[in-house]
Amino acid sequence: MIISKQKGLKEILGFLKGAKKIFLVGCAQCATVCKTGGEDEVNQMEKALKKEGKVITGKAILDPPCHTVKAKQFYQKNKDALSESDGILAMVCGDGAQSIMEGTRGKKVYPALDALFLGMVQRGGHFIQKCVLCGECVIDATAGICPLTVCSKGLLNGPCGGSKNEKCEVDRERDCGWIMIYKRLKELGELDKMKIIRGAKDNSKALHPQKIEG
Ligand code: SF4
Ligand code: SF4
């Protein structure tokens, strides 16, 4: 899931300065779970913008916005309201915002959210980053725990040696990721995997933009 936070109203009003008529778009998936761009947040944004003198030309929650077919359908359904709008306030991640821009044939899109990371939902309002999309997953050798996120230095070949009382030397509040990996490998009877030596990470696997063409 893409974890996001809402931008402050001051920043949003700053880039909406020249735009009076605004169409609001939210996301039925990630931004709804993050409570940054679901139905409630879109309604709250409508109230806040109206107070500032903006005219809301329409509202829609796309499911999901990051799908250009859905964005095109949204455009077809709301053509008239969109044509009289100065822009769309996208309460969705940056991926969704660009999909909306493409689906609405280049309509001006303003981002209301900052997309932060790919994260796991622990419980309501608590999210944690477990994967940085490195493009070359190694967790088969690390007991299902990602060393790139759980170790502060993203080390691939075992601990740095700086941990104290099983805490990380970079952040003493955090458990050392490599001790976690060691313990889990031990439980699994796979401690021999600690001896695997990996070469330098192939960062070309994570070059941008990534693309898959089926
Ligand atoms: S190694 Fe870590 S960052 Fe890379 S794909 Fe696997 S979980 Fe994601
Ligand atoms: S103490 Fe552990 S988690 Fe921290 S940087 Fe070193 S190996 Fe990584």
If you measure from the C-alpha of residue 190 to the centroid of ligand 2, how many angstroms do you get, rounded to a whole number? 20
Separation CA 3–CA 129 (nearest Å):
9
Separation CA 86–CA 89 (nearest Å):
10
Q: What are the tens digits of pLDDT across the range 75-106?
A: 999 999 999 999 999 999 999 999 999 999 98
Q: What are the tens digits of pLDDT across the range 171-186?
A: 999 999 999 999 999 9
Domains and CATH numbers, the chain: 2-117 (3.40.50.2300), 130-195 (no CATH)
If you measure from the C-alpha of residue 139 to the centroid of ligand 1, how many angstroms do you get, rounded to a whole number? 7
The model's pTM is 0.92
Q: What are the tens digits of pLDDT across the range 11-69?
A: 999 999 999 999 999 999 999 999 999 999 999 999 999 999 999 999 999 999 999 99
SS3 of 140, please? Answer: coil
Cβ atoms < 10 Å from Cβ of 75: 16
- CA-130 nearest atom, ligand 1: 7
